[in-house]
Amino acid sequence: MTKRALCIGINDYPGTDSDLSGCVNDCNDWAAVLATRGFAVAQLIDRQATKANMVAAIGDLVDKAVAGDRIVLTYSGHGTWVPDADGDEPDGRDEALCPWDIGQGKALLDDELRELFSKRARGVRLLMISDSCHSGSVTKGDAADLDPGLPRARFLPPEAWLKGIALPAETPRKLLGGMSRTTGDLLMAGCLDTQYSWDTRFHNRPNGAFTFYALKTLARLEPEATYRDWFKKITPAYLPTNQLPQNPQLFGSAAARKWPVFA
């Protein structure tokens, strides 16, 4: 069995006036933890994470995996959406990740991710961890680690990078829309599709809120803990909070949720 991971972190979004601060730290943090758990880790950071490079690296991660292998993709950066072109989205939108060159109109669509993931061999376990997306409501929670001051949303409005395209009106959406259907086995996401994931600072160090609490709880898990166990430690104990109104999500089959974490 081979264990491989690709960690992507993008703070720098040239041409958008929408830079972030915690995504590279997220990427490095996930990479370090995965390496200690036996994964061979590749990383794409800022200008390395163009759409072409992301597609190539994800394709390589999937194509080289054989039955019994474990592969993990982590992404920290902006999320966005584009008008749905093929009619498969009830809300008229395709969710997307924002590569470094999103300012050139190069979004990585959920349809494209689904196509990449569909090429994996039978018997390959795939986990995607996405710390990005949309906006939501306010509830209580534990914010003791959070530094004072307002966080920044990891959502890039289409009008910030799509020019001259008619955009559909805001409509209610299902959880993570098409993004939840791209993963194959498991998706751990920072929020509902109607919410933002927040880019903020803990103990004077920038991080994504979901990444910070996911890693904090991971460090305390029992050795045989499952993904379901891990998820229950993150929410509602740490997220959402009044300052970080995001509800983490875990998508996948009942069997996949019971897999031991990163085993």
Give backbone dihedrals phi and psi of 26, rounded to 5 degrees, phi first: -55, -50
CA distances from 27 to 130, 131, 258 (A): 11, 10, 25
Alpha-carbon gap, residue 229 to 91, rounded angstroms:
32
3-state DSSP helix/strand/coil % of the chain, to nearest 5: 25, 25, 50
Which residues are catalytically annotated? 78, 133
How far the first Cα of the chain sits from its last, in Å, is 10
φ/ψ of 147, rounded to 5, equals: -70, 155
